[in-house]
Amino acid sequence: MPRIRIDNVEVEVESGSTVLQAARRIGLDIPALCYRDGCSPNTSCLCCVVKIVNNGSGAGSNRLVPSCATRVADGMVVESETPQVRQARKTALELLLADHAGDCLAPCTHVCPAHMDIPLMIRQIASGRLRDAIVTVKDRIALPAVLGRICPELCEKGCRRAQVDNPVSICRLKRDVADVDLASDDPYLPPRQSDSGKRIAIVGSGPAGLAAAWYLLQRGHQCLILDEHDRPGGNLRYAVSRELLPEDVLDAEIGMIRRLGAEFETKVRVGRSLPLADLQKRFDAVLIAGGEMDKARAAELGLAMAGKGLKVDRDWMMTSQPGVFAAGACITPFRHAIRAVADGREVAELIDHHVRGIRPADDGGRFAVRLGVLTPEEMAVFAAGSSTRDRAPAAPDHSGLAAAAARVESQRCLNCDCSALRDCALRHYSIQYGASPTAWRTTRKPFERIVTHEQIVYEPGKCIACGLCVQITQRGGEPLGLTYIGRGFRVKIGVPLDRSMADALTRVAEECVAACPTGALALRDPQRPVAAAAGAGAPDAEGAVKR
């Protein structure tokens, strides 16, 4: 069997293997968007290039070649991680992103400071899966019943439905899910990891401190929340009207954080009755989350100021004191509690990494392809199939929506998000290689959405014509299947004879979805299995196409 060397690691593989297969044998993750085991190489994306230093015959070609289609030869020497190779892959990814017609995040999620998966929550409400919905909400928002009453509705300002009539009542839907959960016999508590043995002191029990505790507790850390007031809650208790935010709602959500394991000490002013240095000695990390900060208060704590807030390392949110972090209005005075809650979640992740001694990984939180301004025709595509009802009117007593009304309101959502966000290989490798969505951006493809299959959405503007689905339908014995349509730069994947996606995918629909590297083919609802033979999509009683 031939032996080759990749990045100075020798590997023996079967005759006829490709360089990509050899690289995977030794654990190298080479991006290969248009390749899948069991399919023939297409060499169309060019993201899997490597450099052949020695082709096995002693000659050095120093060429970049697609590893998915390059056969190994005994004695071959390959470089896969040089700056030249990585730059070539990055350029290939950026060219694919250049005309990608799709949003990574729905506009509502993008503008939400907490980046909650709002479309997923709405779909779960629409299908009556309220328990799933509260799990989705609390993944990003620690105090949903509170914020559902006082949030400035920033997410609704980004809602595309506003371009049709009025935005979806996102905040009221979030509030209703939280209220139903709190009123249940078994309110949702997220699982906690095993005890880490680490202890975190949190100074301040406002929205940032409470949120930080919520997420630190889930990671197995013990949390003590200290506050100078009689009762926890910070400005949520002492600066918000009880008409807008009833005290029992605030107490109930603080009670959930207490049930998760948080301990509270009130009537303690850190820096005066309790020196900050004492907390540093007793705890593995300290978080300052005590609201807006002035010079006198900063001096009392022994911390440096920068402008109107504490001076912090923005990468770690750590103050001038090692192991002392800061979040919320003490860094930047916030007008909205949702921003403080989002800050609390972010600092919790950083503290978790700090006490475990690991560097935070780039999760691509700042990476997003965006459609931008839509044409009237594209807006019509988004609106097709959604409920034609207008927004539920606001209640004068600030009450939420009843269960039936919440489901009706949820069916107004245009489903602007990418259904395959977590499985998109294009996004995954773009983040890994630092590819920019706008590096080569000119005129993107028009946004299209084909919903003639009951369980699958096809968005041609995301398709890179890799041809994997074409091969899979041929191999799977689809009577009609998918094919290439057109030639050259205008080639696209479609259904022969102008038939529907329901006609094309009757046997291997789910396999095609799994193979799609860009989310062009996606399940409407990942929790719903694809039937062996699917028919055309049918709107529900409110006119919304089920997703």
How many other CB atoms are there within 10 angstroms of residue 343's CB atom? 26
Position 364, amino acid: G
Structure tokens at 203: 């100074």
| 3-class DSSP state of 484 | strand
Residue 290 lies in a domain: yes
Looking at the structure, tell me whether residues 207 and 349 fall in a common domain. Answer: yes
How many domains would you assign to the chain? Answer: 3
Looking at the structure, tell me whether residues 118 and 222 fall in a common domain. Answer: no
Can you give the CATH number for the domain in which 284 is found? 3.50.50.60
Query: Rounded distance, CA 150 to CA 353, Å?
Result: 31
Looking at the structure, tell me whether residues 292 and 234 fall in a common domain. Answer: yes
Can you give the CATH number for the domain in which 57 is found? 3.10.20.740
Structure tokens at 394: 């606001």
Looking at the structure, tell me whether residues 115 and 143 fall in a common domain. Answer: yes
Looking at the structure, tell me whether residues 208 and 352 fall in a common domain. Answer: yes
Looking at the structure, tell me whether residues 133 and 256 fall in a common domain. Answer: no
Over its length of 547 residues, how does the chain's per-residue pLDDT go in tens digits?
999 999 999 999 999 999 999 999 999 999 999 999 999 999 999 999 999 998 887 776 678 999 999 999 999 999 999 999 999 999 999 999 998 999 999 999 999 999 999 999 999 999 999 999 999 999 999 999 999 999 988 999 999 999 999 999 999 999 999 999 999 999 999 999 999 999 999 999 999 999 999 999 999 999 999 999 999 999 999 999 999 999 999 999 999 999 999 999 999 999 999 999 999 999 999 999 999 999 999 999 999 999 889 999 988 999 999 999 999 999 988 778 999 999 999 999 999 999 999 987 666 567 889 998 899 999 999 998 889 998 887 766 556 677 888 999 999 999 999 988 888 999 999 999 999 999 998 888 899 999 999 999 999 999 999 999 999 999 999 999 999 999 888 899 999 999 999 999 999 999 999 999 999 999 887 666 555 443 333 233 333 322 2
Residue 381 lies in a domain: yes
132-170: pLDDT as tens digits: 999 999 999 999 999 999 998 899 999 999 999 999 999
In 242-326, the DSSP E strands lie at 263-266, 285-288, 305-306, 309-310, 324-326
Residue 386 lies in a domain: yes
Query: Rounded distance, CA 39 to CA 50, Å?
Result: 20
Residue 333's domain comprises 199-356
- Name the strand (E) or helix (H) holding 351: helix 337-356
Residue 9 lies in a domain: yes
Looking at the structure, tell me whether residues 402 and 261 fall in a common domain. Answer: no
Position 299, amino acid: A
Residue 311 lies in a domain: yes
Looking at the structure, tell me whether residues 205 and 351 fall in a common domain. Answer: yes
- pLDDT for 315: 87
Position 512, amino acid: C
Residue 139 lies in a domain: yes
* Residues in CB range of 73: below 8 A, 6 or more apart: 2, 4, 55, 56, 57
- pLDDT for 473: 97
Looking at the structure, tell me whether residues 211 and 320 fall in a common domain. Answer: yes
Looking at the structure, tell me whether residues 225 and 318 fall in a common domain. Answer: yes
The domain boundary, picked from 58, 75, 98, lies at: 98
Query: Rounded distance, CA 124 to CA 411, Å?
Result: 11
Can you give the CATH number for the domain in which 394 is found? 1.10.1060.10
Query: Rounded distance, CA 427 to CA 161, Å?
Result: 26
Looking at the structure, tell me whether residues 206 and 335 fall in a common domain. Answer: yes
How many other CB atoms are there within 10 angstroms of residue 414's CB atom? 25
Instruction: Compute the C-alpha angle 283/288/289, nearest 5°.
Output: 130
Query: Rounded distance, CA 201 to CA 154, Å?
Result: 31
Residue 466 lies in a domain: no
Query: Rounded distance, CA 131 to CA 3, Å?
Result: 54
Looking at the structure, tell me whether residues 311 and 285 fall in a common domain. Answer: yes
Closest CA to 520 of 101, 27, 20: 101
Residue 143 lies in a domain: yes
Query: Rounded distance, CA 513 to CA 510, Å?
Result: 5
CB 449 within 8 A of CB 457: yes
How many other CB atoms are there within 10 angstroms of residue 61's CB atom? 12
